[in-house]
Amino acid sequence: NRKRSPAGPGSARGRHILSLLKTILMGQVLSLLICGTAVSCGYLVEDKVETPMLQSFLNYALLLFTYTTLLSTSDRNILQILKTNWWKYLAMAVADVEANYAVVKAYQFTTLTSIQLLDCFVIPVLMLLSWFILKTRYRLMHFVAVAVCLLGVGAMVGADILAGRNQGSTNHVLLGDGLVLLSAVLYAISNMCQEHTVKNLSRIEFLGMMGLFGTLISGIQLHAVCSLHLVHVRSIQLHACSGEDDECYGSEPLSAHC
């Protein structure tokens, strides 16, 4: 009866279990953060605060100050990375920025439960992209788990409908649902590129480049959206108050639509 070596199969199995538990725990924390984001977006929409692009810009700005700075001080040459892979990170940043913008914008048109349900569309799209592009192969259990997940979310939405809960405005529901589906496809593209980059390069490089390009893209789009809404709001107020110059600009904050 030989004693099992600490580096034997038993030890490897223990490390595998610990890694699995860590992954599950991190997934639950991520789900909690996403839930907080969804609830916060719902409250902002109820208060008539429409800032989908500003919310994204702040996220990328934090990545810029943290990971882009860290990447600049690491052994990797950030100029060489930009020279060789700038177009790849630009494409990934466009997909990620527009996915964030679309899903936050959807809260103005459809309900929270509908968004959570349709956002799960990212899972089958991501599996399909990974199957053909990354050559990832899934077992039957993976497909069953995805089906159970989608059925569970569908049951939650059905329960809300039967209970008659009003979770937001239903105006332009089709537009809101379409924005969520578009966001899910873009998220799937971004997540697939993220997996490939993190596994083959580094996490710091990916987050640093996303912070850099994401801040640039969202900043440009934020300025464009604010400028368009500024002109639109002023033109409506001037038309509505013809003859009363003292009230031409009203009291509505012009930056509430950025």
90-122: pLDDT as tens digits: 999 999 999 999 988 888 887 777 787 777 888
Domain contains 5: no
Instruction: Give the residue, 53 or 28, on which the prediction is more confident.
Output: 28
Instruction: Give the residue, 173 or 193, on which the prediction is more confident.
Output: 193
Please report, in angstroms and rounded to a whole number, the separation of the first and last CA atoms in the chain: 72
pLDDT digits over 126-144, tens only?
Answer: 888 888 888 888 888 888 8
Domain contains 160: yes
Domain contains 180: yes
Give the range among 16-25, 111-120, 157-166, 187-196 with minimum mean pLDDT. 157-166
In this structure, what are the phi and psi dihedrals at residue 197, rounded to the nearest 5 degrees? -70, -45
Q: What DSSP line would sit under the chain, residue for residue? A: -PPPPTTSHHHHHHHHHHHHHHHHHHHHHHHHHHHHHHHHHHHHHHTT---HHHHHHHHHHHHIIIIIHHHHTSSS-HHHHHHHHHHHHHHHHHHHHHHHHHHHHHTTTS-HHHHHHHHTTHHHHHHHHHHHTS-----HHHHHHHHHHHHHHHHHHHHHHHHT---S--TTHHHHHHHHHHHHHHHHHHHHHHHHHHHHS-HHHHHHHHHHHHHHHHHHHHHHHHHHHHHHHHHHHHHHTTT-GGGTT-S--GGGG-
Domain of 41, in residue numbers: 18-239+252-257
State the pLDDT at residue 252.
46
- Say if residue 77's pLDDT is above 70: yes
- Say if residue 169's pLDDT is above 80: no
Domain contains 246: no
CA distance 134 to 129: 7
Domain contains 119: yes
Return mean pLDDT, the chain.
Answer: 77
233: pLDDT confidence band, cut at 50, 70 and 90? very low
State the pLDDT at residue 255.
43
Give the torsion sign (CA, 63, 64, 70, 76).
Answer: positive
One-letter identity of residue 41: C
How many domains is the chain built from? 1
- Say if residue 156's pLDDT is above 80: no
Domain contains 3: no
Tokens 């788990």, residue? 145
Picking from 105, 122, 116, 101, the residue whose alpha carbon sits closest to that of residue 194 is: 122
Domain contains 6: no
Picking from 83, 114, 113, 68, the residue whose alpha carbon sits closest to that of residue 214 is: 68
Domain contains 9: no
